[in-house]
Copies of this chain bind each other. A is one copy, B any other.
Amino acid sequence: MQKISVAIIGWGNVGRGCKRAIKECSDMMLAGVVRRPVSLGKIEPELEDTNVVADISKLDHVDVALLCIPSREVPERIKLYHGLGIATVDSFDEHERLVALKREADISAKAHKTVSVMGAGWDPGTDSVVRALMRIVSISGHTTTTFGGDKGGRSMGHTALVKTIPGVKNAVALTFANGRGHHKRKVYVELLPQADLEAITQAIKADPYFRADPTEVLAVKDINKFNTLNHSVSLERTGMQVNQNYVLAGVNPEFTANVMVSAARACITAKEQNAYGAYTLLERPLIDFLPGATLDEKLAGY
Contacts and interface: CB of A to CB of B under 8 A. Distances in A.
A128 interface: yes
A280 B302 CA distance: 9
Interface in A231-258: 240-251, 254-255, 258
A143 to B, nearest CB: 7
Contacts of A285: 282-285
A291 B131 CA distance: 13
Nearest to A119: B302
Contacts of A282: 285-287, 290, 298-299, 302
A24 B139 contact: yes
A201 interface: no
Interface residues of A, number: 58
Interface in A82-118: 95, 98-99
A272 interface: no
A131 B99 contact: no
A80 interface: no
A14 to B, nearest CB: 14
A143 B98 CA distance: 31
A133 B121 CA distance: 12
Contacts of A218: none
Interface string A32-48: 00000000000000000
B286 A129 contact: yes
Contact of A21 (B122, B139, B249, B291): B139
Interface in A243-302: 243-251, 254-255, 258-259, 261-262, 280-287, 289-291, 295-296, 298-299, 301-302
Interface in A153-182: none
Interface string A69-88: 00000000000000000000
Contacts of A246: 130, 245-247
B137 A255 contact: yes
A136 interface: yes
Contact of A296 (B95, B99, B129): B99
27 contacts: A21-B139, A98-B302, A99-B302, A128-B301, A129-B286, A130-B130, A130-B133, A132-B286, A132-B289, A136-B259, A136-B286, A136-B289, A137-B248, A137-B255, A138-B255, A139-B258, A139-B261, A139-B262, A143-B301, A241-B251, A242-B250, A243-B249, A244-B249, A246-B247, A280-B299, A282-B302, A284-B285
